[in-house]
Structure 1
Amino acid sequence: MKKNLLLSIFSGLLLWVAWPPTQYTTFFLFVGMVPMLLAMENIINADVKGKGKKIFNTTFIGFFIWNTLCIYWVYNSLKIIGPITAIPITLIPYALGPLLMATACWLYYRIRLIAGRTLSLIALVCFWIGYEYLHQSWDLNFPWMTLGNGFATTHKWVQWYEYTGVYGGTIWVWVVNILLFLLYIGLREQQSTSTRKKLIVSFTLVLILPLGLSLYKYYTYLEQSNPSNIVVVQPNIDPYEKQGTIPVYTQVATLTHLSDSIGQRNTEYFIWPETAIPEDMDEDHIYTNNYYQQVRHFLNRYKNANVITGGETHKLYTKRATNTASPLPNQPGMFYDRFSAAINIENANKVQFYHKSRLVPGAESLPFGNTLSFLKPVFEHLGGATGNYTIQTEPTVLYSQSGIGAAPVICYESIWGEWVSKYVKQGAQFIAIITNDGWWENTSGKDQHLDYAKLRAIETRRWVCRSANTGISAFINQRGDIVQQSKWWVRTALKQDINLNSDITFYVQYGDYLPKIGSFLAVLGIFLIGIKKSFSH
């Protein structure tokens, strides 16, 4: 059994080496699952008891190694909520993902008891897709390690994401690995020459055709000329000093100074990062807010420009006007909702708000809040901010005076392809990602987050304008190329003439259809396993 454990560990290491932000080892994704498949095959064919448990335990170890080595930086981002709270929350990305991955492998074993190897391997892909879709849809969401994200540094290989989204990449990885596995098994089992030839041809076609199609699309893709001048600002304010240490007026002055240093008369958007204005602002009285007035004064020099900025906002109610409203401390009869917001400010007396909708489990939201709402005081006592933010259920496109539609995507939300595509479906012509990656410190987390944004550009064929508080800020074109980027922990601003786009891709039109189909087939497979188990008793 030590051999199988080593195979699982080897898989975890191969997948880690292949994962962003590395740029020249992505091809290991195509072989990374083979040792894991061999380990499972060895256990299935062994004369031992408890095969299902052995498969679960063996695969969990490999997946845990892969996940932990890739997202070791998560703990840094949770320090602010207190160490006691951070420890259990950190288990969500480190342990929960591998548990779900190992469960998919266990279900594969259960299917092998009632079906042949080929059908079971197809079921394995469906179980895996089902796990990935679940892990982006429920309250414990963390889709960071979706297999299709692994091509973020080699975006030239996956230009067809405009049809499939990242789940097409997940399927591609699995199919290539499975064919390699079957080739190896064929040699070990001394299968016929004709069978091996068919597998070799299948492997070659599955690997080369998507790659060739993608490279063709990449080198022939032409953007339609529809220029707009955009400025993204990186104020480089230590996230631990944003609240209280540095006056808010000074922070806004830094943002306006950087914007003014490269702004042009035809600049149409200045984009500032998440929580760029850290002062809690009342949305119903925004026009009298001092920091709003400070931004408006800056915009007087740019008559056609808008500022999209992150901010902390709230709404007050004299009764519980929403299901999410909380009682206002020390003010009986008053209630409030708090938001992590994107705010569009223009020269006219018009302000548009978008409220962050994909929150970090534990750090920004209490998973299964309706059921576990009694735990909110416990988290707050331990130093956390869990459950403080209220979300909106549908995206909001922010429009300029001239009618340009921007998709305001706040930090963690940029991992959801279908969510971003909803903005585009509503009329967004470019994507504005505002984030504060300083919590992750100088780790690969900030680089992965930037790389994943390239996939959103391909899926939607929209420019991405990324403003990050401490880095990395960037402009990404419709092919996923980083045209400009800042350095980490540098105070700067970037400007770029981007091309607006109003065309709708197949993926934008139909969203995550692949994981929905895969999840349906996975549920069907689980149902068949249940029936078989019932009859066996």
Structure 2
Amino acid sequence: MNKYIIYLIALVSGVLGVFAFSPFDYWGLAYVSLLGLIFVAKTSKKSTALFASFLWSMGFFCFGVNWLNVSIYQFGGASLGVSYFLVGLLSAYLALYPVLFTYLVQRFNVQSAVIFSVIWTFTEFLRGWLFTGFPWLQLGYTQIDSPFSGIAPIFGVTGLTFFTVWASASIFNGVAALFNGKNPKIALFNAVLLAGVGGLSAYAQRIDFVKPVQNEPLRVTLLQGNIEQNLKWDPDYLYSTLEIYQKLIAQHLGKSDLIILPESALPTLENALVPFFERLDRAGQAADTEIVIGTVYQDVHSDKLFNSMVSVGNPNFPYRLETLNRYSKRHLVPFGEYVPLETLLRPLNSVFNLPMSAFQSGAVAQPPFMAKARVFAPAICYEIIFGELVRQNLKNDTDYLLTISNDAWFGNSIGPWQHLQMARMRALELGKPLIRATNTGISVFIGAKGEILAQAPQFVETALTYDIAPMKGKTPYSVLGDMPLYGLSLLFLMLRGMMAFMRRRMNLSQKP
């Protein structure tokens, strides 16, 4: 086949893969996209396959993370050309992992569908770990509304990704066997395997790993202030922000058990607003309503800045700046919340000097975050995309997952919808209801099956109230994480290696 046709197939199939994610949600296109990648990886000579895989990746990532352009251009002060260049540069870096996948497939002449998945799992692990990791657009997320979502509470999004690649490779092998005149039993075998895993997933969907605690719902109100990002950090707009949230809080004091504000809801140091927090604490106590607020907190001893959340309104624990009932963000956004090599990079361009880009990471082990005598597993904004981190924040007696965010950085793009899809996956993996408060949307309540229970519209100043029951019990993934899948992947590799070794030994023994 002409190499330019192969390049076109690669580019188009990469772009199509993004339509499998939210807000489009055509989950079947994940398989179409992967079929395109596997096709170019297996049917081309090495140099053509590697470049075609690079084109697949550029189509996939340039379109899939184009929302970064909004924050770089509109709020980072970079020119439009520089912002697109930086998105392209990031995409080129992310393209290295699918290219590595194709290189390994070519290098070892991979035929087995399950080994395709093992190699992809390895490259995705690297993408989520190296340089603090960027596991955005894992293909398993696309399957949250598919018939295969039952895999998630057992093996997590990594397992769903493994299955998606394996299914795509099985389809490829089956079709290739028919077209190449090989034994049609190969195609039949792959079809039976796919049907078997589909049946297992359907069965798992009916298993209730967790159960609601009856008669103990919590009435929670999410406040969505809808503060425009270009005004949020303007000192002249601080009092307007305070007025918006004071008004919204007052409307729900005494009516809700818990009120939750979004990430860095009050855009100045919490230390400078201690009298405001103390008044809010007294008002919450009087109304029997606790309030969780995303703040920018400066440690009084070290002067380090933290992106944190804190609770006020508990009569047993009056508010103080050094309260232990605080969660500080552990996994920061590179360049957005901290700048690697900052002494070198900050002088170069305003894009490296975004507001509040000098945070410190919170401790790995932090006390349970409490509100209304319930235990919450917290995650602030970017952290929700790291399944293992959220799993680590889960305690034995956790009732809910809680994430606060400010997706105003990404405007009216596909970014906030992808972010929401990942939050839904955390609820499904861990079997816990998830509460998500955001500045401009999308504020939601999510059930333990990953379903949306209530949702506020984007770009509207509003409050969303819902009675949400806690869940008790554990999913297999919440207990074991990704280790079973990594163990199985290693086992598959060992078995494949043993089979190849035995085959070589047999061939050698048959030679005269």
TM-score exceeds 0.5: yes
Letter in 2 for 1:308: V
User: For the Cα contact (< 8 Å) 1:407–1:424, is it kept in 2?
Assistant: yes
Tell me the equivalent position of 2:38.
Answer: 37
Partner of 1:66 in structure 2? Answer: 60
Of 87, 94, 117, the residue aligned with 1:90 is 87
**Could you give the per-residue CA deviations for residues 2-21 of structure 1, whole angstroms, max 9, x where no partner exists?**
23212212321331232222
1:192 partnered with 2:155? no
CA contact (8 A) 1:235 1:470 kept: yes
Match of 1:278 in 2: 267
1:11–1:32 Cα contact (<8 Å) kept: yes
Match of residue 203 from structure 2: 213
Is the Cα–Cα contact under 8 Å of residues 155 and 454 in structure 1 kept in the other structure?
no
Counterpart secondary structure, 2:28: helix
Instruction: Answer yes or no: is the 8 Å Cα contact 2:433–2:447 preserved in 1.
Output: yes
CA distance in 1, matches of 2:298, 2:426: 29
Partner of 1:457: 427
Match of 2:51 among 57, 67, 70: 57
**Cα gap change, 1:221 to 1:390, in 2 (>3 Å):** closer
Instruction: Report the equivalent of 1:143.
Output: 135
| Counterpart Cα distance in 1 of 2:481 and 2:48 | 37
SS, match of residue 200 in structure 1 = helix
Match of 1:466 in 2: 436
The aligned counterpart of 1:108 is: 105
Shift of the 388–91 alpha-carbon distance from structure 1 to 2, 3 Å rule, reads: farther
The separation in 1 between residues aligned to 2:462 and 2:147, in whole angstroms, is: 29
Task: Please report how far the alpha carbon of residue 149 of structure 1 lies from its aligned counterpart in structure 2 after TM superposition.
Answer: 1.4
Give the counterpart of 1:341 among 302, 308, 311: 308
State whether residues 159 and 479 of structure 1, in contact with CA within 8 Å, keep that contact through their aligned partners in structure 2: no
Letter in 1 for 2:375: G
Give 5+ residue unaligned stretches, structure 1: 45-50, 318-334, 529-537
The residue number in structure 1 matching 2:404 is 434
Partner of 1:169: 160
Match of 1:229 among 204, 209, 219: 219
Alpha carbons 2:213, 2:472 under 8 Å: kept = no
Match of residue 321 from structure 1: none
| Equivalent pair of 2:290/2:372 in contact (CA under 8 Å) | no
Change in 2 beyond 3 A, CA 1:516/1:357: farther
Deviations 1:196-237 (A, max 9, x none): 32233223333x32442254348x985332311111110111
Counterpart-to-counterpart distance in 2, 1:355 and 1:91: 32
Preserved contact between residue 425 and residue 504 of structure 1 (Cα < 8 Å): no
Shift of 1:134: 2.0
Aligned to 2:353: 384
348-357 or 60-69: bigger deviation = 348-357
Q: Distance in 1 between matches of 2:493 and 2:359?
A: 33
Structure 2 unmatched ranges of 5 or more: 499-512
Aligned to 2:268, the other structure's residue is in SS state: strand
2:212 and 2:472 in contact (8 A); partners too: no
Verify: 1:475 aligned to 2:450, yes or no.
Answer: no
Q: Distance in 2 between matches of 1:378 and 1:92?
A: 20
The 1-side partners of 2:20 and 2:221 are apart by 33
Q: C-alpha distance in 2, partners of 1:31/1:424?
A: 36
Deviation by residue 1:159-199 (Cα, 9 ceiling, x = unmatched): 33111110111111111111111111101221123333223
Counterpart for residue 151 of structure 2: 160
Structure 2: how far apart are the matches of 1:485 and 1:160?
Answer: 25
Classify 1:316/1:103 alpha carbon distance in 2 versus 1 (closer, same or farther; 3 Å). Answer: same
CA distance in 1 between counterparts of 2:352 and 2:63 reads 27
**How far 1:260 sits from its partner (Å)?**
2.9
1:379-418 Cα shifts (integer Å, max 9, x gaps): 6766514861100242535544653111221111111111
Sequence identity, in percent? 21
Letter in 2 for 1:81: G
Amino acid at match of 2:413: T
* CA gap 1:172/1:210 in 2 versus in 1, 3 angstroms: farther
Partner of 1:324: none
TM-score (norm 2): 0.86
Where 2:230 maps in the other structure, the secondary structure is coil
1:497 aligned onto 2:467 = yes
SS of equivalent residue, structure 1 residue 255: helix
Q: What does residue range 21-32 of structure 1 map to in structure 2 within 5 Å?
A: 21-23=23-25, 25-32=26-33
1:474–1:484 Cα contact (<8 Å) kept: yes
Deviation at 1:74, TM superposition (A): 1.4
- Pairing partner for 2:121 from 116, 126, 129: 129
Residue 379 to residue 410, structure 1, CA distance change in 2 (3 Å):
farther
Q: Which residue of 2 aligns with 1:332?
A: none
One-letter amino acid of the structure 1 residue matched with residue 294 of structure 2: G
Q: Does the 8 A contact of 2:141 with 2:422 survive in 1? A: yes
Name the structure 2 match of 1:295: 280
CA–CA distance in structure 1, aligned partners of residues 490 and 207 of structure 2: 31
Which residue is 1:322 aligned to? Answer: none
TM-score using structure 1 length: 0.82
Matched residue type, 2:298: H
Contact 2:116 2:165 in 1 (8 A): no
The SS at the match of 2:159 is helix
Call closer, same or farther: CA 1:425–1:293 in 2, change over 3 Å.
closer
Partner residue of 1:364? 337
The 1:381–1:77 alpha-carbon spacing in structure 2 relative to 1, beyond 3 Å, is: closer
Q: CA deviation at 1:454?
A: 1.1
Quote the residue 1:81 is aligned against. 76
**C-alpha spacing 1:83/1:159, structure 2 compared with 1 (3 Å):** same
Shift of 1:242: 1.6
Seen in structure 2, the aligned counterparts of structure 1 residues 281 and 521 have a Cα distance that, compared at 3 Å, is farther
What residue number does 1:48 align with?
Answer: none
Contact 1:111 1:123 in 2 (8 A): no
* Inter-partner Cα distance in structure 2 for 1:156 and 1:229: 32
User: Distance between the aligned counterparts of 2:369 and 2:15, measured in 1?
Assistant: 46
Corresponding residue number in structure 2 for 1:183:
174
After TM superposition, give the deviation of residue 156 of structure 1 in Å: 6.1
Q: Which has the higher contact order (CA 8 A, sep 6+)?
A: 1
Paired position in structure 2 for 1:14: 16
